[in-house]
Structure formats: C-alpha cells, structure tokens
Amino acid sequence: MASLREVAEQSQRTGIEVEGLVREFKNGPRAVDGIDLDVGAGEIYGFLGPNGAGKSTTVLMLTTLLPPTAGTARVAGFDIVSEGPRVRASIGAALQEAALDPLLSGREHMRLQTALHGLAKPEREERGQELLARVGLAEAADRKVGGYSGGMKRRLDLALALVHRPRILFLDEPTTGLDIQSRTALWEEVARLAADDGVTVFLTTQYLEEADALAERVGIIDHGRIVAEGTPAELKAEIGRPTVEAVPADPGDREHLAGVLERFGPRAGTSPRGAAARLEGGEAQLAEVVRALDAEGIAIEHLQLHAPSLDDVFLAKTGRSLEGAGDPEPEPAPEEAVGAA
C-alpha cells in the first residue's frame, strides 16, 4: 500500500485520463457512452452540456462513487475501479447540490470533514478557520447552515472539498441557481485555486459563459458522447462564422425574412420574434444582407451580428441549441452499484 506521501507525489504528477468510459443503467439509456478525456495537471477543464447529457454521471464515476460499466479511467494516476481509496485521497468534490447539514454550523461542518479526512487534531481547527476565511464565511462560521444563502452554501461546499488539500477538484455545476455576484465570486476562487495552488479543476456546467470564462479547455457532451473538445477559442474558430439575427418591424414578415437570411447561410439558433442565419461568407456579408432585406421591402426593427459562441459550437455539433436541450439525467438505483463501504 502506498504511503500518503506517495499518493500526494503521484497525484501532483498527473491529472485525469479516461478511455472509453461507459455507464449504462438498468432499463435506461447509456448515460455515458464511451468518452475519452485527458485533463492535464493544473488545468481547468470545462465539461459543458445540457441537463441529462451525462456530466454528473461522469463525475460520479471519476470520483469513485459509481462504478463504470466499461472503460478505464485514472484520476491522479490511480485507477478509479481498483484504487478507489487512493483516488478519493487525491481529490476533492463539490457535487451537484451543496450536500450540507442544515442543523450544523459552518464551523461544525469543517470540524467533521477535517476529522474524517484524518487531519491531526491540532491542525483541524486551524485548517477549518483558514478555509472558512478563504471563502468569506469566517463571520458566518457559527451560524447554522440552514440559514445560509445559496451562494454561502456553495462556498462552504467548496471549502469542505479542500480540507485535505486535494490536487484535483471536481465541481459539478457549482454555480447553478446562484445570482451573478455569488457566481462571479466562486469563479474567482476556482481560478485562484488553479493559478496559485496548481489544483486541477474538472468543472461541469450548463452555463456557456462559465465554461468560457473559466475553462482552459472545454469538452462538450451530449447524449453521453463528447461531441467537441478544445479551447473555447479553438472551438469558436472551428465554427468560424458569425450569426446575423434580424427582427422584422411587421411580425407577418417573419417567414419572408427567414427566407432572405437563408440565402446567406443556414438558419441558426432560435430568435423568438425574428430569424437568424449563420453567415457563410463571414462578417463581410452583412452589407449584402441589409441590401437584400431592403430590396425585398422588409422593414427591420432590430438587426444584430453575433460572434460565434459556445452555443453555436453546440448547435453546429448537435443540431440543437444548448439552452433547453436537456433531459433529466438517470440516477443509479442502489442495487445497480457495486463495491463496499
């Protein structure tokens, strides 16, 4: 058995390597359908996809909480099936919903977590205090968590994931449901963890701007498969073409307008009151679009050129917009699990 020091050294060297990972549920679809991943040490990797795409199932497998049906994965250099305890010693995780006890205070959570992770008694209080201060909860440390806001709960969740100084951090939709200030504060902390402490961050999200702002590389998952992977800039460059969106002054002209725009490229996204098309010829075509609309006698209320976004990438790869593309992700029944406590 490797010593804690060996575990720490190994996890410093490696990130996450996944080959052909599959998870099937009884009488259900393949929640994860043969994904490959290679996340480098110290990298922030964004795993982007709609609800039900397989993000959380992937995280559960990589954090050893759900055995895969097929495929292999090494996290911090350790196999997720045969070396579960070593994987867990190397990772921290804040799973989809902040799993906290409303009857305990923030400080009591820290005490419990530090003790369960085996920190020496004198270190527990100090580490807990340090992390509470780091996530801005020092003043609220003795209040019961039941009275915390969503953002405070998420920050405590993050602090709890860090008590044993993990080299790899899994964050499963860490900002879902948070207001923009709480979201931004959490982004800053995650970015700091990666930049200052060299922590590898595997972040799942359904927010395009989150992946765009935080992740060095992004994997886009849909129906359990990775449909695109690269830096946000690479992915957008792959799409390459901007989108033009126009809203007619007369709503009756909407179909006519869409027909005109389609001369310049395929329809794109959904425009609630107008139509949008991806410009095959790039931004230079905008003047031609305006002339064509004028020639057709369509009065325009609003016209906008959009630079390519990750949503465009998702649309290009799946034929659907990321927004509203989700389905509920299947949950494992207890009897589907293997392994021992």
Name the segment binding another protein (CB under 8 A); options: 78-86, 215-223, 261-269, 287-295.
Answer: 78-86
Judge contact between 337 and 68, C-beta under 8 A.
no
Query: Kind and range of the H or E element at 87?
Result: helix 84-90
- Cβ proximity to another protein: between 145 and 194 the closer is 145
- Contact flags string 218-257 toward another protein, x per CB under 8 A: ----------------------------------------
Contact flag: residue 95 with another protein (CB under 8 A): yes
Binding-site residue total for another protein (CB under 8 A)? 42
DSSP string, 104-128: SBHHHHHHHHHHHTT--HHHHHHHH
- Contact flags string 154-173 toward another protein, x per CB under 8 A: ------x-------------
- Contact flags string 109-148 toward another protein, x per CB under 8 A: --xxx-xxxx-------------------------x----
Spatial separation of the C-alpha atoms in residues 104 and 242, rounded to whole Å? 51
Contact flag: residue 267 with another protein (CB under 8 A): no
Spatial separation of the C-alpha atoms in residues 95 and 174, rounded to whole Å? 8
Judge contact between 326 and 53, C-beta under 8 A.
yes
Structure tokens at 119: 């920190």
**Block residue for tokens 């991806």:** 278
Judge contact between 230 and 236, C-beta under 8 A.
no
Shortest Å distance, C-beta 209 to another protein = 26
Shortest Å distance, C-beta 83 to another protein = 8
β-strands 70-75, 16-24 pairing? antiparallel
DSSP secondary structure letter of residue 144: B
Contact flag: residue 67 with another protein (CB under 8 A): yes
Binding site for another protein (CB under 8 A): 63-67, 80-82, 84-85, 87-89, 91-93, 95-97, 99-101, 103-104, 108, 111-113, 115-118, 144, 160, 332, 334-335, 337-341
